């Protein structure tokens, strides 16, 4: 309010707007006009009374100085406001960067989902079956257990695990009278069964899925033991361990998470 009072003493031009409406630009004009008047009053042939001229000049000088102080204050305020705006812009910029990162993530996730969707459609068009959120492939060819698993891996899947009675029944029905490899093996450590897709093998819940007297790791007299498991119609499609090199059909499973369904 001191500023306003100072300003109100500066009635130097009729054209000047009301003090509270003035912005920096017009205040500068006020100062310029005051300085102009000062210059005019200092010119020798423009004043008859030297004492009056001196008095006017001093008053104009005061007014000009007051104007300069006021402008400095204004500039200080503008500078502080600019700093504040800069801080807010920095915040906006940081928020924008964060949003950009999230958009990139959404875009990548959408791209991945589209890729999985295309993969699922391609598999279905090639005869894969959809059951319980998983995709299954029942081969027409016959291969060793190893070669069968390699085929499945090439299709982003594994030889199938069997996790429930319903899944066992689904597989049994779809094999249509042919023996098929599943992803169970004790290669490596005899009697230590594992699912090749990483599913935990549980001896207790799996007991009912083995065919009678299996697994028996039968020595077939040709130097081979039985370390790979197939399901066979002769055993009501229950599990039997056989020699891994025997050519057989096979079943791949692309599990729920992998299929993205
Ligand atoms: Ca074995
Ligand atoms: Ca056997």
Q: Measure the CA–CA gap between 222 and 76, rounded to whole angstroms.
A: 98
pLDDT range class, residue 257, cuts 50, 70, 90: low
Q: Measure the CA–CA gap between 136 and 258, rounded to whole angstroms.
A: 12
**Three-state SS for 127?**
coil
- H or E stretch including 135? strand 134-138
Provide CATH code, domain 128-259: 3.10.100.10
Using the mean position of ligand 1's atoms as its centre, give its distance from the Cα of residue 160 in Å: 18
Q: Comparing 47-51, 55-59, 87-91, 117-121, which segment has the lowest mean pLDDT?
A: 47-51
Contact between 244 and 151 (Cβ < 8 Å): no
Residue 150 has pLDDT above 80, yes or no: yes
Using the mean position of ligand 2's atoms as its centre, give its distance from the Cα of residue 215 in Å: 5
Using the mean position of ligand 1's atoms as its centre, give its distance from the Cα of residue 231 in Å: 15
Q: Measure the CA–CA gap between 135 and 156, rounded to whole angstroms.
A: 11
Contact between 126 and 239 (Cβ < 8 Å): no
- Tens of pLDDT, residue by residue over 185-195, are 999 999 999 99
Residue 6 has pLDDT above 60, yes or no: no
The number of the ligand nearest the C-alpha atom of 214 reads: 2
Using the mean position of ligand 2's atoms as its centre, give its distance from the Cα of residue 98 in Å: 59
Write down the pTM of the prediction: 0.63
Beta bridge partners of 158: 253
The number of the ligand nearest the C-alpha atom of 184 reads: 1
pLDDT at 259: 46
- Section 140-168 average pLDDT: 97
Q: Measure the CA–CA gap between 157 and 62, rounded to whole angstroms.
A: 90
The number of the ligand nearest the C-alpha atom of 192 reads: 1
Residue 26 has pLDDT above 80, yes or no: no
């Amino acid at each position: 309010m001191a500023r306003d009072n100072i300003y109100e003493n500066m009635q130097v031009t009729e054209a000047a707007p009301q003090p509270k409406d003035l912005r920096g630009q017009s205040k500068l004009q006020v100062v310029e006009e005051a300085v102009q008047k000062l210059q005019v009053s200092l010119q020798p042939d423009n004043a008859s009374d030297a004492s009056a001229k001196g008095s006017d000049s001093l008053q104009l000088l005061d007014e000009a100085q007051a104007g300069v102080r006021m402008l400095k204050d204004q500039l200080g305020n503008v500078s502080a406001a600019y700093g504040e705006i800069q801080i807010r812009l920095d915040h906006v910029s940081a928020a924008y960067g964060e949003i950009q990162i999230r958009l990139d993530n959404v875009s990548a996730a959408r791209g991945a989902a589209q890729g999985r969707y295309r993969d699922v459609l391609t598999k279905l068009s090639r005869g894969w079956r959809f059951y319980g959120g998983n995709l299954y492939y029942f081969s027409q060819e016959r291969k060793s257990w190893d070669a069968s698993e390699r085929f499945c891996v090439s299709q982003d899947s594994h030889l199938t695990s069997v996790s429930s009675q319903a899944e066992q029944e689904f597989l049994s029905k779809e094999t249509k009278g042919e023996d098929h490899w599943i992803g169970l093996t004790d290669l490596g450590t005899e009697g230590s069964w594992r699912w090749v897709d990483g599913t935990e093998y549980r001896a207790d819940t799996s007991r009912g899925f083995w065919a009678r007297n299996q697994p028996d790791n039968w020595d077939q007299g040709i130097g081979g033991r039985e370390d790979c498991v197939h399901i066979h119609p002769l055993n009501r499609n229950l599990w039997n361990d056989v020699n891994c090199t025997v050519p057989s059909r096979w079943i791949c499973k692309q599990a729920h998470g992998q299929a993205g369904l």
